[in-house]
Structure 1
């Protein structure tokens, strides 16, 4: 079912790119857009994770350079029966995180330096468990490829605007109106597809993440902090690349541009309520409860400029 849903979503994004091309310049541009979509899909399948990580200036870390983050991910990966993913840190004050990669054997998780500074070890574990849930559910390929194609749709919108300014829409079946439609509707349609992908999968990843870390309230507590932090602090790389917004655990964009018209994430309060209900089902009483928490041992002091907290995940 997950594979079929992924294929349908990829087909929808490719068709959207083709329709945008047709409206801009008729059949010729449509064929070019479809060919471009096919090439983008192939490139994205093999390299989209590297592209997205590069967009956000993510730096790979290991057990020595970021012991608490790395060891937390390693222990959670064992609990989730997953291969150890690559671990990255993004140097931005906005607290956030995402996962990427075409499959569990080629996955990566990234956390911002702001997130590591803000969260307790338990909350950090909840967030990383959520990202590993995306890996286990194989959401990462769909989310990453969609980000790539959504970016291409936005690029076509820019081409439409450029063409309309210089009279380049003679082959469009609707003339200048076609370019205007692409400029306005194309990015919105791409955002709606991103919403369809992200909203349902965030709830699923929240639930599985709560089960992986052993206490859903850790993730619930983290989400409250991340929501408040992301609302106050800009993420410049995300603002430059809004097509990647749906990959983050919390929407990194601010509602001051057109991308604020649609949100790619469920309401944070609804996600927290769902996690609190899961905690009741699991018999977990409080965010500080340490039952079934895996113990990890950091090796050396971190060499990156991040203050790591100590706690049950770091002792």
Structure 2
């Protein structure tokens, strides 16, 4: 049902885009608007993942630089039947994570250092399973398309004021919206687009929670992670996300302050509703095989290449050093 709903909402978004173009320039305006949408979505299809990862300063890690975290994602991807995605770490103290990429074969998952330092291994596994569920369900592509269309609708709405709305008839008289109509389009069209985008985002989060819990086999750990992340978001700001609010829907919890309400203007369902759904799911998964940390990650610490280049040497193992969940010394 959620996939059907998502399809309808995407169709509504496309129809809204064409309607705004028609109101501005008639049939020609509608065709131009749809052509612009196609070009923007094509560009986003190939480049959105690189743009978002660059925007947040994400750095790629592997089995040498982050053995535990990389191994965890690898193990979960195998459980989900997915190709191994690229794995990134974002130096940000707010615990959060997101997935991006046009398809499962070209996917990436990213987690903040705040998530990897503040949550338990089981909670981190639940979060990354949620992000892999987005990849498996191809939500990353759906949300890229909706974000692109929403931005394009806002751009078209601004054009309404410049072109005055409507078109000229055969006698050369301007017909259509006029100033009042143009103002209405400029204000209402972006709001309508935002509401459709948020409705799609909320429906995809519930599905990713369910699929993520099935991948990790531990709904309680994911529920606990959602609660801890939600509480931390109110305490720890994310300046990068605040400067790029259009990317808020990508994260497992809205990274913007005051963004956790389950309201008409929220990109995410309320944490309470998501936790309740997960706990209900947990009741029917008592026999499920939960995530187990790979054996090598629980063994004695392996040498880890420093994240920041310096002398190029690895500190000696003398003395006790705590290993972060993603493999770096702290």
- Give the TM-score category using the shorter length: 0.7 to 0.9
- 2:319 alignment partner in structure 1: none
- Cα–Cα, structure 1 residues 40 and 292, in superposed 2: closer, same or farther, change >3 Å? closer
Structure 1 contact 121–309 (Cα < 8 Å) conserved: no
- Cα–Cα, structure 1 residues 19 and 83, in superposed 2: closer, same or farther, change >3 Å? same
Provide the rounded CA distance (Å) in 1 between the counterparts of 2:126 and 2:43.
Answer: 32
- 2:170 alignment partner in structure 1: none
- 1:309 alignment partner in structure 2: 324
Provide the rounded CA distance (Å) in 2 between the counterparts of 1:233 and 1:279.
Answer: 30
- 1:15 alignment partner in structure 2: 15
1:176 maps onto 2:179 in alignment: yes
- Cα–Cα, structure 1 residues 190 and 242, in superposed 2: closer, same or farther, change >3 Å? farther
- 2:78 alignment partner in structure 1: 78
Provide the rounded CA distance (Å) in 2 between the counterparts of 1:80 and 1:109.
Answer: 14
- 1:96 alignment partner in structure 2: 96
Q: Render the CA deviation track for 1:15-51: whole Å, top value 9, x for unaligned.
A: 2223333444555544332211011122222222223
Deviation of 1:280 after TM superposition, in Å, equals: 2.1
Structure 1 contact 24–182 (Cα < 8 Å) conserved: no
- 2:318 alignment partner in structure 1: none
1:64 maps onto 2:67 in alignment: no
Provide the rounded CA distance (Å) in 2 between the counterparts of 1:234 and 1:23.
Answer: 41
- Cα–Cα, structure 1 residues 261 and 252, in superposed 2: closer, same or farther, change >3 Å? farther
- 2:265 alignment partner in structure 1: 262
Alignment counterpart, residue 272 of structure 1, candidates 271, 275, 278: 275
Provide the rounded CA distance (Å) in 2 between the counterparts of 1:187 and 1:113.
Answer: 34
Provide the rounded CA distance (Å) in 2 between the counterparts of 1:103 and 1:5.
Answer: 21
The aligned length equals: 298
Q: Which has the higher contact order (CA 8 A, sep 6+)?
A: 1
Bigger radius of gyration, 1 or 2? 2
SS at match of 1:108: strand
Structure 2 contact 45–102 (Cα < 8 Å) conserved: yes
Deviation of 1:261 after TM superposition, in Å, equals: 6.2
Structure 1 contact 23–178 (Cα < 8 Å) conserved: no
- Cα–Cα, structure 1 residues 80 and 236, in superposed 2: closer, same or farther, change >3 Å? same
- 1:300 alignment partner in structure 2: 303
Gaps of 5+ in 1: none
SS at match of 1:60: strand
Provide the rounded CA distance (Å) in 1 between the counterparts of 2:35 and 2:290.
Answer: 53
- Aligned runs of 1:116-135 on 2, under 5 Å? 116-135=116-135
Provide the rounded CA distance (Å) in 2 between the counterparts of 1:138 and 1:266.
Answer: 19
Structure 1 contact 117–308 (Cα < 8 Å) conserved: no
Provide the rounded CA distance (Å) in 1 between the counterparts of 2:157 and 2:236.
Answer: 28
Provide the rounded CA distance (Å) in 1 between the counterparts of 2:323 and 2:18.
Answer: 48
- Cα–Cα, structure 1 residues 183 and 61, in superposed 2: closer, same or farther, change >3 Å? farther
Deviation of 1:296 after TM superposition, in Å, equals: 5.0
TM-score for the superposition, normalised by structure 1? 0.82
SS at match of 1:63: coil
SS at match of 2:237: coil
- Cα–Cα, structure 1 residues 176 and 64, in superposed 2: closer, same or farther, change >3 Å? farther
1:209 maps onto 2:212 in alignment: yes
- Cα–Cα, structure 1 residues 304 and 19, in superposed 2: closer, same or farther, change >3 Å? farther
- Cα–Cα, structure 1 residues 21 and 52, in superposed 2: closer, same or farther, change >3 Å? farther
Structure 1 contact 98–248 (Cα < 8 Å) conserved: yes
Shifted more, 67-76 versus 50-59: the winner is 50-59
Deviation of 1:238 after TM superposition, in Å, equals: 2.7
Structure 1 contact 220–275 (Cα < 8 Å) conserved: yes
TM-score for the superposition, normalised by structure 2? 0.79
Structure 2 contact 165–182 (Cα < 8 Å) conserved: no
Gaps of 5+ in 2: 168-175, 309-321
Shifted more, 186-195 versus 4-13: the winner is 4-13
Alignment counterpart, residue 223 of structure 1, candidates 212, 223, 226: 226
